[in-house]
Amino acid sequence: MAKHELERVELTNMCAIIDEENQKVVVQKRVKSWCGITFPGGHVERAEAIVPSTIREIKEETGLDIRDLKACGIKDWYNPETSSRYIVFLFATTNFSGNLLEETAEGEVYWEDIEKLPDLELSSGFWEMAEMMLSRKYAEFSYLIDGKDWIKNFY
């Protein structure tokens, strides 16, 4: 059996918290890396399971407790310069409780109308992720990096 060289992988998560009654979602106006409007999320810690990592990150970044997460797909890309892969596990939920924080070190957090999302100052590549999470049209959003070009692929 052939051996495959392992690649370094950075695991992250993101969750669309949806208020179906008011047609709103929680957004974060990021001021650190990947600036702009996104859904909240963060990194998976060493040996942490994916869903619990998402629940933890959402609590830290929004103050909300979430349950009944539905997998919406993944976003990923392989960076040939660093020989590493970056993976974002995408989730959505309509089951939440608690009080929404106004701001964290990551940025301002607030409810936004779903229909207004395309008109906001979104983080680069976020709209495609939001569409996947809200419509569940694709299972994977991947970039193929070809020199300076980042080619989008949907599966």
What are the residue ranges spanned by the domains of the chain?
A: 8-154
**How many whole angstroms separate alpha carbon 139 and alpha carbon 155?**
6
Backbone φ, ψ for residue 58 (5° rounding): -65, -40
Question: Tokens representing 116?
Answer: 């207004």
pLDDT tens sequence across 19-49? 999 999 999 999 888 899 999 999 999 999 9
pLDDT tens sequence across 61-94? 999 999 999 999 999 988 888 889 999 999 999 9
How many CA atoms, within 13 angstroms, populate the side-chain half-sphere of residue 84? 7
Would the pLDDT of 1 be above 80? no
**How many whole angstroms separate alpha carbon 141 and alpha carbon 40?**
18
Residues whose CB falls within 8 Å of the CB of residue 154, separated by 6 or more in sequence, listed in order? 128, 137, 138, 140, 141, 142
Any bridge partners for residue 95, and if so which?
A: 67
The class level of CATH for 8-154 reads alpha beta
- Across the range 120-141, mean pLDDT stands at 90
- Across the range 3-30, mean pLDDT stands at 93
Rg (CA), the chain: 16
Residues whose CB falls within 8 Å of the CB of residue 144, separated by 6 or more in sequence, listed in order? 77, 150, 151, 153
Measured between alpha carbons, how far apart are the two ends of the chain, in Å?
A: 29
pLDDT attached to residue 149: 86
